Amino acid sequence: MKKLYFLVLLMMTTMTVKSQNPFFEEYKTPHNTPPFDKIKNEHYEPAIDKGIENHKNEIKNIIILAAEPCFENTIIPFEYSGKLLSRVTSVFFNLLSSESDDEMMEIAQRIQPKLSDHSNEIYLNEDLFNKIKTVYDKRNNSNLTNEQIRLVEKIYQGFENNGAALKGADRDKFKELSSKLSQLTLMFGQNTLKETNKYEMLITQESDFEGLPQSERDAAAMKAKSKGKEGWLVDLSAPSYIAFMKYSTRRDLREKLYMAYCTKCILGGEFDNQQNVKDIANTRLQVAKLLGYPDYATYVLRNKMAKNKEGVYSLLDELYDAYAKAAKHDVAAVEEYARETAGQTFKLQPWDWAFYSEKLKDAKYNVNDELVRPYFELENVKKGVFGLATDLYGITFKKNTNIPVYHSEVEAFDVLDSSGNYVAVLYTDFHPRESKRQGAWMTEFKGQYVEDGKDSRPHVSIVMNFTRATDNQPALLTFDEVETFLHEFGHALHGMLTKCTYESLSGTNVEHDFVELPSQIMENWLTEKEYLDKFAIHYNTGEKIPAALVQKLVDAANYNAGYLCYRQLSFGYLDMAWHTLQTEYNGDVLTFEQDAMNKTALLPVLKNTNMSAAFGHIFSGGYAAGYYGYKWAEVLDADAFSLFKQTGIFNKKTANSFLQNILEKGNAEDPMTLYIQFRGHKPSVDALLERNGITR
C-alpha cells in the first residue's frame, strides 16, 4: 500500500513539474511567442529530454511504416518532426548567446552530448536513410514540384553530410567525432565570452581620456559606476574598444588595450583556446576524411555557390590582385600622415592604425563619427531602418508590449503587410551586456512554414552591441553601427518575408555564400541623401543631415577600401588555411596563423598576438570554410544594387523583383538561378570594383 501511495505521489509530482514547465504547454502569448517571463533555467533539460523522446518516436513511426517510401509518408513526416525539441533548443541556444549565465553554460555542457548523440541516432539510422534514399532516387519521376524536389535533395544531402552512407566501425567513429566536435565548439565559444568579459581597464585620471569625445567618457563613467568602481572603465566590448582605439591620444594605453584584445584565449589559463583550435580543425579533418574527402573545405563547399576550394581561392586571389595597389596606397598614406604628425622616425604599429586612420580621414574629408553621431539617434535610426522596408516592400512595424521579452532592453514588434495583415514578430536587442557575446547577428526563435494549409509565420531577432545612452544624451550611433543595423536587418527581412512551404528551406536557410546578399545590399542605402533625409535628424536641433555632410560621407565611402578588402581577405585566407589541411596540425597556433595571413599583412606582424583563438565565426559559428562568403556576397550586392541605382533606389518594380526572387524564395531554388532571375545575368566583380573606385 505504501509503495502504491509513493508511486501515485511520484506520478502527481512529475505531472505537476511537467504542467509547470512552459515548454510543455501551449504558449498563451501573442502569435505563440516564447513566454520568456515564465521560462527558467530549470525548465530546459526536462523539456529537451522530452523533446528527444518525442522526436525518437516520430522517427520510429516513419521507419516502421510498411508502405513504399514516398514524399508524403517519408519526407513530410521527417520535415515536420522534432517540433518540441526545436521549440526548446531555439530558445536555449539563442539566449546562450544573448542572455547567458554560468548556470546556462553548465547546462549547455550537459545537453550538448545528448543532442549530438540524438542527431547521430537519426542520421546514422540505416533503415531511415534507405527510405530517404528511395525517395531521392526517384525524385525526378514522382510528379513533385521544384520546391519538393529541392527539399528531398537537401534532406538527402543532410544525411550524406552526417555519415549516413558509412558502415560498421566508421559509423561509430563518426558518432564519436561529431560528439567531440560539438563539445569543442561549445567550449571555444564559452571561453571566448568569459575571456572577453574578464578584461577591464580602469582609468582613474580623466587626463588619460585625452582625445576621446565627451560621450565616450560619459559611457565609460557609467560602466564603472555600474560595477561599483570609481573612475572610467574601458573593456573589450565593441563600442568601448573601438572608440578608445580610434580616439585616445595615449599610445601606451592603446597598445595595452590592443594587446588585451589580440591575446584573448592564448595566454594560458582556463580560457585558453589554442588546443581547442587545433582539436576543432583536426576533428573536422577526420570527419571529412571519414566521409571520403581530402579536407574539410572540400566536404563543406561542394554544395555552395563557390562549389569547391578552387572557386574560393579564385575569388580571393582575384580580389587580392585587384586591390593590391589600393591597399598598399592606403597604408602608405596613413603612415605618411602619422610621421608628419608624430615625427619622421615614428613607426606605425597595429594599435596606431585606427587612431591615425581616423585622423587622416577627418583631415581629408572633414568627417568623423562625432560629426555624424548627432544625426543617428537610435530611435530615429530605428524609424529609418524600418522605414526603408516600408518604402521597398510595404511592411510596417508596430511595437507590441504584450509580447514577453528575455531582457528589459529587448523590444518586440508586430510586422504587418500593406493591408495590415500579420507577417512576423521582430525582436530587437541593441546594447552590450556581460551576458551577451560580442558582435551582431540575426537569428530566429521560429522559422516560417506551411502546415495543413496554414502559413505559420516566423519570430525573428536581431542582436547587436551598440553604444548606450548616457546620463547626458540618448544613444547616438556611429556610421558603422548604423551600417551594422542595416546589415542585420537585411538578414531579418530575409527571415521575415520568406514564403516557403518547408521550414528547412525558408528564410535564411540558404548557402552561406548567398545568405549575406540580403544583408549586405541594405548597407548601400546609407550613403544616399534621398534615404538619409528620411531619418538622419540632429537629436538636439531637429535639423536634417546637411547635404555637404552627406557628400563627405559619399566621398569618404571608399576611404581605405583597399586596406579593408585586404583585411577581409586575410580572414578568408586564414579560414581556408585551417580547413584545407590534409594532415593533422599539432604545431604552434600563432605560427600557423601568421603563415596563413602573411600575404595580406599590411602592418607589422606581432608574434605574440593571434585571432584564431577567438575567431568565433569559424570555430564556434557556422562559417568554417565559409568566411569567404562575405566577399562573395559583396560581389553579389554591388551587382544587385547597381540595378537599384539604374532604376531608382526606391523603385517598386526592382524592389518587388528582389522580394519575389530573393527574399521570399529562401532555399526553394538554386541560389544562382534566383540571382539570375532577379538581375538578368551572373554576377562579376566589376560592379564592386567600380563602387570602390578600383582600376585593375
Do 164 and 124 form a contact (C-beta atoms < 8 A)? yes
Grid-cell match 548627432, residue found: 374
Q: Which amino acid is at 186?
A: L
- Determine the 3-state secondary structure of 442 from DSSP: strand
Contact 425, 412 (CB under 8 A): yes
Grid cell at residue 243: 572608440
Question: What is the rounded CA–CA span in Å between residue 86 and residue 51?
Answer: 8
Calpha distance 349→562 (Å, rounded): 18
Q: Which three cell numbers stand for residue 569?
A: 581577405
The set of cell numbers assigned to 105 is: 553554460
Question: In the numeric block, which cell numbers belong to residue 683?
Answer: 554576377
Q: Which three cell numbers stand for residue 227?
A: 560595477
CA-closest candidate to residue 504, choices 74, 81, 11, 39: 81
Closest by CA to 649, choosing from 548, 549, 527, is: 527
Given the residues 79, 444, 481, 488, the one annotated as active site: 488
**According to the 3-state scheme, what is the secondary structure of 579-599?**
HCCCCCCCCCHHHHHHHHHHH
Which residues are CB-contacts of 1 (< 8 A; sequence separation ≥ 6)?
A: none
Placement of cell 548523440 in the chain: 117
Tell me which residue of 219, 207, 225, 262 sits closest to 243, measured CA to CA: 219
Nearest to 525 by CA among 497, 486, 563: 486
Residue 191 grid coordinates: 571561453
Instruction: Tabulate helix, strand, coil % of the chain (nearest 5).
Output: 60, 5, 30
Question: Which of 501, 498, 448 lies closest to 76 in space, CA to CA?
Answer: 501
Q: How far is CA 590 from the centre of its chain?
A: 25
What's the CA gap between 529 and 28, in Å, rounded?
A: 45
CA distance 310 to 127: 36
Q: Which residues contact 641 (CB under 8 A, 6 or more apart)?
A: 521, 524, 687
User: Residue 111's closest CA among 182, 31, 214, 8?
Assistant: 182
- Containing H/E element for 196? helix 168-198
d(CA 418, CA 437): 36
Please state, in angstroms and rounded to a whole number, the distance separating the CA atoms of residues 660 and 548. Answer: 37
Q: Hey, what's the cell of 189?
A: 565559444
The whole-angstrom separation of Cα 336 and Cα 330 is 10
Of 276, 319, 466, 246, give the one whose Cα is nearest residue 378: 466
| Position 94, amino acid | N
Told to judge if 488 belongs to the known catalytic residues of this protein, a careful annotator would answer yes
| Count of beta carbons in the 10 Å neighbourhood of residue 42 | 13
Q: For helices 274-290 and 168-198, give the axis angle rounded to 10 degrees.
A: 160
CA angle 491–463–569, rounded 5-degree value: 60
Distance, in Å, from the CA atom of 580 to the CA atom of 592, rounded to the nearest integer, reads 13
Indicate which residues carry an active-site annotation: 488
